[in-house]
Amino acid sequence: MPQIDQIMSTYGSQFFWLVITFGLIYFVIGRSMLPKIQGTVDLRKGKIAGDLAAARAAHARADEIEEEYRQAHARARDAALAVTAEAKAKGAREAEVRVRDADVGIASHLAEAEGAIAAQQAAALTEIEAVAVEAAQDIVARLTPAKITKPQVNRAVKGALADA
Amino acid sequence: MAAESGKIDPMHQFEIAPVFSGGFDIAGQTIAFTNSAMWMLLTLVALWVFMQGGMKRELVPGRWQLMVESFTGFIDDMLVANIGAEGRKYAPYVFSLFMFILFANILGLLPIGVFGGHPFTVTSHLTITGVLAIVSFAIVLIVGFSRHGFHFFSLFVPHGTPLPMIPFIFLVELLSFLVRPFSLGLRLFVAMTAGHILLKVLAGFVINSTNAGVGYGLMVGLPSLTLMVGISALEILVAVVQAYVFALLTSLYINDAVNLH
């Protein structure tokens, strides 16, 4: 096995070159390049963590805004409902008042009209009475010689009309 | 690879030989630019090129950058899971360790033999894995003693040990602690060596049986080749798993030193 057989004649050269190459690897690659690469990786990790945190914060803020919007929306709806309810109530009240006024007007018109009708009826009745009295007086004068006075005829006509 | 008289030596791939003649001597050792050194440098270059993708440092990563970041993130997560938040402090070492072993393992598996090259697996050498294991173990000792002082020895006495058992348990725990660097280094070395020997032996079957005739080739070579394809896939898995195991055990041992159970 050359690794054992040659140990005594080659260990010096082996150690020499190992110290040089491994020393270079340790100082140039391990001590100088590796920390830079680690730094890059750490930087990236930090950036990703920061970005994620920012995204989470933005997400939370968006939720907040949505909640605020929802509350504002609810408030606006409540206000709108209140306005419409009030308007409805006001409209109902006004309509009631107007109906009442109209009722009053109609009632007075009705009373007026009834009064007029009653007056006309009374006027018509007195006219009929007068005409009937005259007619009765004429009829009696033409058919009979008896002389009757106006008050007599009046009484008779009134009695007849009242019977009718 | 093919030695004289058609014999194929599966161990030849582990031999260390200078690429260029020359070199210098230190304390009786000749330091030459060997094939092992070349593959260590290749590992370094490949890893450096790979890491360039991670240096774009864009906020939205491309595929390459994401691949690099998934490796760094993998080690980061492993350290944080095993050691805790301060585990990231050890990321430079554990990441270097993991990537060096992973790239060395995978480069050694590359089929460049097809083009006449000789792949060499750096991590199949005890000298390399042993040094890495000792460095890991040294970090554990340094961190443990600098943080806890002599209280670090309480690591060897688990909670709730009955008083008469303490000396015995202490010895057992100390022994298992001291074995750690050996198991760490040997595990990787053996896993890589075994896999590569198996592949070379099977490749030798394919070549020798085919040379012996079409019948042998079909009867022995073809099944061996099929097996090689499967084992190559397995070896890729082993390459990744061994790198992971080395890094994982290192982070677990560092956890012992940092948190004392």
* B64-96 pLDDT tens trace: 999 999 999 999 999 999 998 888 899 999 999
Rounded mean pLDDT, A52-73: 96
Q: Does B74 touch chain A (CB under 8 A)?
A: no
Give B193's pLDDT tier (boundaries 50, 70, 90). very high
Domain count, chain B: 1
- Structural domain contains residue B124: yes
pLDDT for B4 equals 43
| Domain of residue A149, residue span | 34-163
- Structural domain contains residue A64: yes
Q: Are B135 and B127 in contact (CB under 8 A)?
A: no
Q: Is the ipTM of this complex over 0.90?
A: no
Statement: residue B5 has pLDDT above 70 = no
- Structural domain contains residue B223: yes
- Structural domain contains residue A82: yes
CB contact under 8 A, A17 and B37: yes
Query: In A, which residues are within 8 Å of B72 by CB distance?
Result: 34, 37-38, 41
| Domain of residue B123, residue span | 4-17+78-259
Provide the phi-psi class of B162: left if phi over 0, else alpha when psi is between -120 and 50, else beta: beta
- Structural domain contains residue B168: yes
CB contact under 8 A, B51 and A26: no
What's chain A's average pLDDT?
90
Q: Are B176 and B89 in contact (CB under 8 A)?
A: no
Domain count, chain A: 1
- Structural domain contains residue A10: no
- Structural domain contains residue A51: yes
Cα–Cα nearest to B31, from A18, A23, A5 = A18
- Structural domain contains residue B135: yes
Nearest CA in chain A to B32: A13
CA distance B61 to A93: 77
Statement: residue B129 has pLDDT above 80 = yes
Of the two residues A65 and B256, the one the predictor is more confident about is A65
- Structural domain contains residue A103: yes
What's chain B's average pLDDT?
88
In chain B, the largest separation of any two C-alpha atoms, in whole Å, equals 72
CA distance B233 to B198: 13
CA distance B156 to B172: 8
- Structural domain contains residue A135: yes
